[in-house]
Structure 1
Amino acid sequence: MKIIIAAGTGFLGKNLEKYFTEKGNNVYILTRSPKKENEIYWDAKTIGDWKNILEQSDVLINLAGKSVDCRYHEKNKAEIYHSRINSTKVLQEAVNLCSEPPKIWMNASSATIYVHSEKHLNTEENGIVGDDFSMNICKSWEAEFFRAQNQGMRKIALRTSIVLGNNGGAFPKLKMITKLGLGGKQGRGNQMVSWIHIDDFCKAIEWIIDNENISGPVNITAPNPITNEVLMKKMRRNLKIPFGLNAPVWQLEIASFFLNTETEILLKSRHVYPEKLIESRFQFSFPEFDRTVYNLLREGG
């Protein structure tokens, strides 16, 4: 296949590039800083020569968007919003100009689109979408993505949970704080954490490509969310760390200020279930958190 990954130089993009290249596919990366032969310059805002690479491609995957791991002041809020909307909008313009556009377009979204939920399990069908800054970003993002429908093109919004891997994302940070003896519960610890192993993330993307019946929003997450308290206990047990200091909300507020982030990232309860993947008989390699941690620690040391 010919696969285009827009903004593909981050944690998810690098893993997808490796996964699909090793299977014999041609993968091209759209990036602001091209360094390799398969990387093409784009600014995520305006049409350029990069649009030509979309011709006769099989899959377009858009991962563009400023990281939400920052303080939510007005400047960052605007960048978080515009980086997602503008990249989606300009890709749609480029797709419209193609004589043979991509057959499949997957656009990043987030499991954060669902409300804080400790009891209600959010599927694509019955998920409760709420109303705050983060959820409204996701709603606007998906609305822009699904605004236009191109004949013969399948569109999928990837409502991705926390992706765990050794070469980026949340896992190296979880490992570090656990080793430092700070691996207790955050806040009350009863917030649900939805997560997925990076290998299953890549497998799920391939599965969606191969299954023509899957379209629209798809929850990209393992089927067994756990509470923050249980997650941290499992991290301590697997790392053989006997204790972990709890972090009450007031401490997290202070720490997040100095770490230039927001407590929402740790305290929001993301209780999400991958109904579309399960119903299509996708087989997770790492459905349980213990198995995931064991594998990542064995692979990454």
Structure 2
Amino acid sequence: MPGTLKNYYEILGVPRSATTDQIRTAYRKLLLKFHPDKNVGDTYFEEWSKKINEAFEVLKDPEARAEYDLVYDDARAASKQTATVNKNDPGNTPPVETTHPLSIDATIQKLAPVYVSAKQAYIKSARNVEAIENRLKMKRMNAAIHFLLGGVMILAILVWVALTNKNLFQAVSSPDPPVADRATIIPLPALVKREATMAGNQTGFETVDLWLKVVTTKAYFFEQPEGAVLDDKFLSKGNKVHAIKKAGNYYFSVFQSAVNNSYKIEGWVKAADVEILAQ
């Protein structure tokens, strides 16, 4: 097509006298700069990549190059002749667009470095912004991890303190029960057992050596079997006493607190309020 044939030498930026090696070198340099894989989605780079490939496919082959040169020279000569006729004939209206396509390609090629520089600056700025955002994201993530680790550490310390001071927390959180409710039985001295045995032999009471467990809500102590209660003294359910005498349905029992050595109860308890523990 006369007047519209592309100037492949201008596209590759080489003179018409360039050798095949020079053409190949120029092609490789331009392809590295305009390859669409480096600028995905940019139509400008895609179009220039197509033009560079098209020019190289023609100029790398000597036969195709020679044919192209011949056709290009004819097209250029025809274009110049048409322009001269139009200029000499006043009746001919000049075309609206008089700029030759070859000059358009040349202009684009001149502007290409500016566009490429701007594009590379944009890509660099975008990468810097992305790097800054990644650093901020990492800082936020590190802060969250440190906060979580701090919470776990505080929780572990609280659990450790609770376990090591379990008795202290129980004493603070619950009111003190009566001494009889939280006391444990300690074995009676051998002297007390001997005295009880002697008293049993003298009075006719049956001498025993039993451990009893309170099974009712309250087990009261009496002065004598079926006698009066000893100042409302009692043991709550679950406590244990040591019985040394028995008279009918009553046991003479001794309770000695292991928590408070000064707390001691002696008296008769009903057999119905206790049960004998295995020896």
Q: TM-score, normalised by structure 1?
A: 0.17
Which of the two has greater helix per residue?
2
Based on CA coordinates, which of the two structures has the bigger radius of gyration? 2
TM-score (norm 2): 0.17
Which fold has the larger relative contact order, with Cα–Cα distance below 8 Å and residues 6 or more apart in sequence? 1
